Structure 1
Amino acid sequence: MDPRPDCGEESYRGSGRLAGKAAVITGGDSGIGRAVAIAYAREGADVLISYLDEHDDARDTARLVEEAGRRAVLVPGDLARPEHCREVIAKAAEAFGRIDVLVSNAAYQMTRDALEDVPDEEWDHTFQTNITAMFHLCKAALPHMGEGGSIIGSTSVNSDAPPPKLLAYNCTKAAIANFVGGLSQLLGPRGIRVNSVAPGPIWTPLIPATMPPEDVESFGGQVPLGRPGQPAELAPVYVLLASDEASYVSGARVAVTGGQPIL
C-alpha cells in the first residue's frame, strides 16, 4: 500500500498496562489487528494472532511481538468456520493457560453497486466472518476467562451511517454493537467486561482490496478531521478497554471516527 499504514511499529511505547495478560486477536496480521497486537505486546501481553492466510504479514507481526519480549502464537484459518473459531481458542488456552482478553476484529467487506449484485454466498460469508465468528469465539473463550476478563469487538461508524454499497458489512457491524450491548449485561455478574470500538475511515489493506479506485482516492476526506485515520490511532483505545484501568467500563461503544459523531 502507498502510503503504508502506520500500525505503531516505530511510535508505540508501552508502560506495562497489560503486564502478564494473555490476549487473542483475530485479524491480527495487518491493519487494526496488527496495531493492537504491537501495542498489547509492548504493554506486556502475550498474543495469539488469528489470521486467514496472509502468512508473511502474520510472521512480521509476530516478529514485532517477540521483539517486545512477549510470546506470539500464529493460527491461520477461516473464522467463517465455527470449528476453526473453537480451534483458535483451544490453541490460546493451550499456549497461555488462560485467556484474559479477546479482540474479535477480523472482518470481510465488498463494495457492490446494487442489491442484485450481491451474491448470496457473499452475504452469508460476511455475516459468518464478522458476527457469527464473534459468537463462537466468545462462547469458546468463556471457560478460559475469569473475573477481570475483557472482550472487545470491532464495530464501525457504518452501523450508524451506512454507505449504501456496503450493505452486508454495515449490517454485521450493527449486529456487533448490539451483541456487545447484550453480552455485557449477561457477563457482568461474572466480572467479565464487554465493549466495542467503532472506527471511522481507517487506512488498512481492506480499503484498496474492496473499494473502487475513485473511492480509495477520496477515502477519509469526508470526516471533520479531513483524512483517514491510521491503525496506530486506534490501538490506545483497545489497550484501555483491555486494561484493569477500565474496570468499570462495560457495554461501551468507543467512537474513533475523525470527528464523525455516533450518538
Structure 2
Amino acid sequence: MAVLKGKTAVVTGGSRGIGRAIVERLARDGAEVVFNYASSADAAAAVVAGVEEAGGTAHALRVDLAEPGAAQELMDAAQERLGALDILVNNAALSFRTAPIAETDDATFDRVMAVNAKAAFVTVRHAARHMRDGGRIINISTLNTVRPAPGSAPYASSKGAVEQLTLVASQELGPRGITVNSVSPGATDTELLRGTNSEEVLDMVVGMTPLRRLGEPADVADVVGFLAGPDARWVTGANIRAGGGIA
C-alpha cells in the first residue's frame, strides 16, 4: 500500500547501509525521496536506479555534510526539487576509529559533531520553518547513548545531542501535528560494521542479543517507515530502540 503517496521526504546519508534501506522503504511506500551522499556516486546512482526500477522516485544530491553550510544547502536544494517537505530522516553520521578521550583531537571531535549533531539541528530547523503541518521527523541515534563504550565519546556525545534535539522539537512542533522521534539501532550488518569489527567481536554481539543475530538495514528502515506513516500519528518525543533486545 502506498501510504505515503503524495508525500515528499529528505533522507541524509542515503547511499549505503541503513540510509539506503530507509530511502528504499519510503519510496516503496509512495514518497518522493531526495537523499544526499558525500562521495560514493556509484552507490548513490545504484540506489536511484533500484528505486526507479521498483516504480518509485528518488533523487541523489552530492553534499558533504561536514562542510560549512552544507546542511542548509542540501535542504534548500531538496526544497527546490520537491516543492514541499513532509518527512525528514536524519541518518548521516560519522564514527571514527575509537580512541580514548585523552587521545581524541579537536579536529576529530569537531567533524563528528558537525555531521552528526549540527547538520541534524540545521535540517530540523529548516523543517520547523518549512515542513507542512502533519509532517514527520525521524532522527537516527544509537544504543551507545545508553550503553556507553570506551573510545566512543565524540560519537555518543553527538547522538546524545540528537536525542535532546528530538525531545525539544517534539514539544515545539507538536501543535502543528508534526511528530518528532528518534530510532536507536543496535549492531546492524553493514559494510561499516564489518569493516571496523572482527568476526570475534560480531559473534560476541550476537551472543548478547536476545534475538541472536545482527540487525539488518531493513529492520531499522521498517521502524522508520512506521514512524513516517499514518499509523504513528500518536507517537512523538519517543526513542525506539531497534537493537534486537539489547537495552
Q: Secondary structure at the match of 1:40?
A: helix
Deviations 1:104-133 (A, max 9, x none): 000111233422332221111111110110
Residue matched to 1:230: 216
The answer (yes or no) to whether the contact 2:188–2:217 under 8 Å persists in 1 is: yes
Give TM-score scaled by structure 1 length: 0.88
User: What is the total number of aligned residue pairs between the two structures?
Assistant: 247
Q: How does 1:1-263 map to 2 (within 5 A)?
A: 15-211=1-197, 215=201, 218-261=204-247
Give identity over the alignment, percent: 38
The answer (yes or no) to whether the contact 2:167–2:237 under 8 Å persists in 1 is: yes
Q: 1:167 to 1:213 in 2, by over 3 A?
A: farther
The answer (yes or no) to whether the contact 2:128–2:173 under 8 Å persists in 1 is: no
The answer (yes or no) to whether the contact 1:104–1:152 under 8 Å persists in 2 is: yes
Structural RMSD (CA): 1.7
Letter matched to residue 252 of structure 1: A
Q: CA deviation at 1:219?
A: 4.6
The answer (yes or no) to whether the contact 1:82–1:136 under 8 Å persists in 2 is: no
Q: 1:210 to 1:52 in 2, by over 3 A?
A: farther
Residue matched to 1:12: none
Whole-angstrom CA distance in 2 between matches of 1:21 and 1:154: 20
The answer (yes or no) to whether the contact 1:111–1:211 under 8 Å persists in 2 is: no
Q: Secondary structure at the match of 2:15?
A: coil
Q: Which runs of 5+ in 1 are unaligned?
A: 1-14
The answer (yes or no) to whether the contact 1:110–1:210 under 8 Å persists in 2 is: no
Whole-angstrom CA distance in 2 between matches of 1:249 and 1:210: 34
Deviations 1:135-183 (A, max 9, x none): 1111123333111111100011110011112121111112111110111
Q: Secondary structure at the match of 1:164?
A: coil
Give TM-score scaled by structure 2 length: 0.94
Q: CA deviation at 1:216?
A: 5.0
